[in-house]
Copies of this chain bind each other. A is one copy, B any other.
Amino acid sequence: MKLKNLIGDRFKEKPSDCVIDSHALMLRGAYMKNVANGIYSSYLPLRRIARKIEQIIREEMDLIDGQEVLFPVVLPAFLWQESGRYETVGNELVRFHDRNKSPLVLGMTHEEAAVSLVREYGQTYSKYPFMIYQIQTKFRDEARPRGGLIRVREFTMKDAYSFHTSQEDLEEYYMRCFRAYENIFSRVGIPEVISVASDSGMMGGNISHEFMLLADVGEDSIVICRECDYRANMEAAESIVLNKKDDVSEQLTLVHTPNIHTIEDVCIFLKSSEEKSCKAVVYQKNTDDSYVVLFIRGDLDVNETKLTNHLGCDIHPAVITKESGLNAGYIGPYNLSGNFTILFDKSLEHTNNLSCGANIEEYHYTGLDISRDIGDVVYNDFAKITEGGICPKCGKSSISISRGIEVGNIFQLGTKYTKAMNMQYIDNNGVSNYPIMGCYGIGVGRLAASVCEANHDEYGPIWPMSIAPWQVHICAVRSDNQEVKDYADKLYSELQEKGVEVIYDDRNVSAGVMFSDADLLGIPIRVIVSPRNMKDECCEIVSRDKSIHHKEALETVCSKVIELIK
């Protein structure tokens, strides 16, 4: 391929709306173009990267006995009604009707389609286990697409579904897939990806893992123990708080706190610490807008995923009206009455002498002792784990929190979908059973962007050889020099004949323009042919990551390049 024919405009300026580097570089290098919010078209370089990633994924899925299939992008609503998700999934699921008024959806995940494909096939135990996967377009109507390919609405995904007759068999396969994922991330050039325990969310099931590329621009908070191997997504990490009751429980005392609304201000006013306060955080259920009042230690934040899982429905921050019966800014657990769901976080267990709202305008209490003043309440874990917090595994105060980009996930789904959709098999005793499922996803575009995020400098991506759009970039500096042109042309043909993927820049432009374009394309090996090099009867061979920069005699350039590729 000659660079002068490569479609797309490369440019120098960082687009103002790009907050992460991979997004800016992939626009600047003409890898892709925005079509609508969270929807992109790909130019040739990204298409080539994506196809190489897809092939690596395909090979690893085939190695663990996966069979490639293809599900439709457009699915009949009845499949999602069978599983129940047509009702439970929110706006991310695009619902529409065809010309005959039949309801359809755009596939955002394909558990239903997978069960429907193998429901008849998997009727006897002897067929198990088996796994099917596809690499296909998905559409998820995200509220806030961002970060280029990191969070989009339309994306290419590899999604796999395995079927088993026992939990042990699922777990064994789950680990095979886990290792296949490690291979994939390693082969595409980000071996540093770590796995973390995660929350299963709308997928259902219990055990699940996410594969995370640690990156400051990541959307996820990752909890990592410095002392043991505990790693979890913030959403899934248990928060452990060790409280010690003061020896003496003071009296519950009403205090006038004019114009004080936040827990910080209350603590300053009362000269107490936030750890000795009981904060109210109020939500409303999406289903019926009823209020959920959650009490938590003043210095901690609510992990909304845990709360959602506990409630079994989605929530949103409350709008507290006059009619609600809640006194915004002064809500406390003592004498709180009304039609609310009232919850207590574990961080309030074994505490006393707390300050809290008094449910009266401009008043707080001090000296709250929940067990004395309110009685027996149930404490659950709703808090976000904090930096330096206690590790749920080794018990040491050694938690550190990092940001990460989720590049893959694997779920043990259990029988959620097979039960709901009535997929059964006859076991070796003649008894009907529901198969146990696992599912395994990787987003292709997000993976490409993550590799770029992990491997770039200010001038462009540094693509690993395994997924680079081309393997070698020939720069013919001063292609108007006949000697340069002849040699570069010859090298281009020679390398192509040997099966090397070459992009060849023979434009009559300055070395500066040539090299900055080459940086943006990020090809691992660059061969510079120039009048000065020709005089020295050599070429410069430079690696994009700058680890190699040496001169090679003209006659051995081709073989040296092939050696470097290997």
Contacts and interface: CB of A to CB of B under 8 A. Distances in A.
A153 to B, nearest CB: 7
B40 A69 contact: no
B136 A137 contact: yes
Interface stretch (A1-9, A331-339, A517-525): A1-9
A154 interface: yes
A37 B74 CA distance: 11
Interface stretch (A117-125, A184-192, A246-254): A117-125
A70 B50 contact: yes
B130 A40 contact: no
Interface-central residue, A6, A48, A70, A137, by most chain B CB under 10 Å: A70
A360 B69 CA distance: 64
A39 B74 contact: yes
Interface string A39-59: 111111011101000000000
Contacts of A116: 33, 35, 41
Range of interface residues on A (Cβ < 8 Å) = 35 or more
Contacts of A69: 7, 41-44, 47
Nearest to A96: B96
Given A96-B96, A132-B7, A44 B71 contact: no
B36 A139 contact: no
Contacts of A137: 73, 136-137
Interface-central residue, A6, A41, A50, A121, by most chain B CB under 10 Å: A41
A458 interface: no
A511 to B, nearest CB: 21
A461 interface: no
Given A35-B72, A41-B69, A74-B106, 5 more contacts: A33-B116, A36-B74, A36-B102, A43-B117, A74-B139
B117 A154 contact: no
Contacts of A39: 72, 74-76
A143 B102 CA distance: 13
19 contacts: A5-B67, A5-B130, A6-B67, A33-B116, A33-B117, A35-B72, A35-B75, A35-B79, A36-B74, A41-B71, A41-B72, A41-B116, A42-B69, A47-B68, A47-B69, A73-B139, A91-B99, A94-B96, A98-B141
A477 B47 CA distance: 45
A65 interface: yes
A contacts with B: majority SS: mixed
Nearest to A152: B72
Interface in A1-47: 5-9, 33, 35-37, 39-44, 46-47
A542 interface: no
A117 B41 contact: yes
A113 interface: yes
Interface string A75-100: 11001000000000001101010110
A27 to B, nearest CB: 12
Given A130-B7, A137-B137, A73 B41 contact: no
A35 B121 contact: no
Contacts of A79: 35
A438 B6 CA distance: 19
A7 B47 contact: no
A92 B98 CA distance: 9
Given A121-B7, A121-B8, A73 B154 contact: yes
A557 B192 CA distance: 47
Interface-central residue, A5, A74, A104, A117, by most chain B CB under 10 Å: A74
A79 B102 CA distance: 26
A98 B154 CA distance: 12
Contacts of A50: 70
Nearest to A114: B41
B9 A121 contact: yes
A523 to B, nearest CB: 17
A515 B65 CA distance: 25
Nearest to A445: B70
Given A91-B99, A94-B98, A141-B98, A40 B72 contact: yes
Contacts of A76: 35-36, 39
B65 A120 contact: no
A88 B75 CA distance: 26
Nearest to A48: B68
A37 B121 CA distance: 21
Contacts of A42: 69-70
Closest 4 CB pairs of A and B: A96-B96, A36-B76, A42-B70, A91-B99
Given A44-B69, A68-B47, A120 B9 contact: yes
A91 B99 CA distance: 6
A90 B75 CA distance: 21
Contacts of A40: 72
Contact of A113 (B5, B35, B136): B35
Interface in A474-506: none
Nearest to A36: B76
A143 B98 CA distance: 10
A198 to B, nearest CB: 25
Contacts of A118: 7
Contacts of A94: 96, 98
Contacts of A65: 5
A96 B96 CA distance: 6
